[in-house]
Amino acid sequence: MNIDKLSKRLETVASFIKPDMRIADIGSDHAYLPCYAVNQGLAKAAIAGEVVEGPYQSAYNQVKEAELSDRIAVRKGNGLAVVNQGEVDCIIIAGMGGALITDILENGKQKLVEVQRLILQPNVAAEKVRKWLLDNNWQLSDERLIEEDGKYYEILVADRDKNKIQYTNLKKELLLGPYLLNSKDEVFHRKWRSELNQWKIILNELDKAESNEKTAIKKRDLIEKISIVEEALS
């Protein structure tokens, strides 16, 4: 991967940037995504945000080496602290867990006031991100599920100015994704069959473990999710 050729995961993320948007890539690490987006003319300008010194330095060096320092600002800081209100149209947060992505959005809410689009790629717990979007008046406008190197990645796109999406079975749609459920392609079947297998192994272990309130709640949650996914795959 380099700034001319991204991974399939990051290329899919970049494909949702609307023309002429100013973007912020939070947790940018090597800054491949903002360099690619600006270089390819997908974004007008970018901020690469990083909280950890090592990745911040590699982002800084990458942008300098690519001679893009006049259009990409590399900033060190936690989450949306690196962005000023009104400075960007689109925020990208990729390659983190769903809980961390929602924490970053929740803690930086005031920075989102003038943002039009969020492109979010949670490695796990995408349902937490969908729930946060719903609770915070962001309309999910597209989703992709891709497989790369044996791993599955969900990419969620949300816009401010879209019509409200009508959920018919909230639990199921938050877990599996309303758009992904609509298409239910081969990758969808493979991902959820693999999740089902893992959940059944965990359930089996919980059955053998000493029962207490915590394990009972976990079992109930797993049984419910297994039933939702089995129904969706049938």
Report residue 24: phi and psi, to 5°: -125, 130
When the beta carbons of 87 and 95 are compared against ligand SAM, the nearer one is 95
Read off φ and ψ for residue 27, nearest 5 degrees: 80, 50
Q: Which is nearer to ligand SAM, 96 or 229 (CB)?
A: 96
Q: How far is the CB of 218 from ligand SAM (least distance, A)?
A: 26
State the nearest-atom distance from the C-beta of 39 to ligand SAM, in Å: 17
Task: Return all residues near 14 (Cβ < 8 A) that are at least 6 apart.
Answer: 6, 33, 36, 37, 40, 42
Q: Which is nearer to ligand SAM, 12 or 229 (CB)?
A: 12
Given the complex with ligand SAM, which of 97 and 219 has the nearer CB atom?
Answer: 97
- Please tell me the distance from the alpha carbon of residue 105 to that of residue 101, in angstroms, as a whole number: 6
For ligand SAM, the binding residues (CB under 6 A) are 10, 26-29, 49-52, 55, 78-79, 94-96, 100, 104
Contacts of 109 (CB under 8 A, 6+ apart): 136
Nearer to ligand SAM, 22 or 218 (CB): 22
Closer residue to ligand SAM in complex, CB, 58/141: 58
Question: Is the Cβ–Cβ distance between 28 and 48 less than 8 Å?
Answer: yes
Shortest distance in whole angstroms from residue 154 CB to ligand SAM: 13
In the complex, minimum distance from the CB of residue 205 to ligand SAM, in angstroms, rounded to a whole number: 28
**Shortest distance, position 166 Cβ to ligand SAM, whole Å:** 31
Toward ligand SAM, which CB reaches closer, 23 or 96? Answer: 96
* C-alpha–C-alpha distance, residues 152 and 108, integer Å: 28
List Cβ neighbours of 93 (8 Å cut-off, separation of 6 or more): 25, 26, 27, 101, 104, 105, 118, 119, 120, 121
Distance of closest approach, residue 148 Cβ to ligand SAM, in angstroms: 11
Task: Kindly state the smallest distance separating residue 52's Cβ from ligand SAM, in Å.
Answer: 4
